[in-house]
Copies of this chain bind each other. A is one copy, B any other.
Amino acid sequence: MDGAELTGKKVLITGASGFTGRHAVHYFQGAGADVTAVVRRPDIYAFDEKVSVYVCDLNDKHQVRELIRHVQPDYVLHLAGKNSVPDSWANPLLVLETNVMAVLYLLDALRCCPDVRTVIVGSRLKYTPEPGHVPAPPHPYSLSKALEEMVSLSWMSLFGQQIMLAEPGNLIGAGPSTGICSLLARHVAACEQTGKTEAFRLSGRDNTRDFLDVRDAVRAYAVLLLHGTSGRVYPVVSGVERSLGEIADLLLSMTDAEVPMRWDGASSGPDGAGKQEELPALRKLGWRPQISFEDSLRDILSDVRAHQGRITE
């Protein structure tokens, strides 16, 4: 990808103060784009002063319409949403409203601008109905992401919009992630700084996951905004399964501290995030992961060492 393609382009990023959003704003800003960071609350994160911050409740269709009218974007990266499976059990309505109605309001507002290219960031955890069977999503979150995808692709078909779906697996990196790599790195940093001795509990050493650095994912979203095929669903994964044992060994090799761990047993195999069937789609557009897994872990550890006191930001 030629970075110049983004220079001066108006890129609107929703969910900008979230884990991926912060990295996305940084990347597009660095690529010369004119970035509008859409946030629900302005006090969550302090963006670079060159970034335009726009406060908007995406569940309010009038605010969303005004946002699009005001920004007139060239590209939209929709990252906002509720992403916690446990929270989706605690408040199913909220996850449905937030993940389905927000995308509907956004895409409906974008009907005014048929040249805009939009990437909707879904999830590998989305539920896929089996034809001829009663829908049985495992949790409300998976239902919300299935509906989000159906609304997005239908809006494309109905109104001729340019919409790509990105489906990231397990993204890792510096910042407010609650993924296993960040949790484990925080444990390591806590042991270094406070001599914490309670063991960190993990499932089987052989359990594997597909991990991708969030910065590689953001580059994938940029590639899709510029060159993705409208109506297509793109898995955004590394294609490499890593075991929990490997992660623990790597992180422990980066510290001198005593880091107690407890393996609670049962192996459950891969979580399916890295399923390969469509992996070549993004590679054909010239994208491939550039950041090694070791570098990702090292950066996470540096970040949590620096921010251990304020991990709840």
Contact = CB atoms under 8 A, between A and B. Distances in A.
A131 B132 CA distance: 11
Nearest to A129: B150
A135 interface: yes
A134 B157 contact: yes
- Identical copies in the complex: 2
A150 B146 contact: yes
A58 to B, nearest CB: 14
A139 B154 CA distance: 9
A137 B154 contact: yes
A156 interface: yes
A96 interface: yes
A137 B150 CA distance: 10
Nearest to A137: B154
A119 B156 CA distance: 31
16 contacts: A92-B108, A93-B108, A127-B154, A134-B153, A134-B156, A134-B232, A135-B153, A135-B154, A137-B157, A137-B158, A139-B158, A140-B158, A143-B150, A143-B158, A147-B147, A147-B150
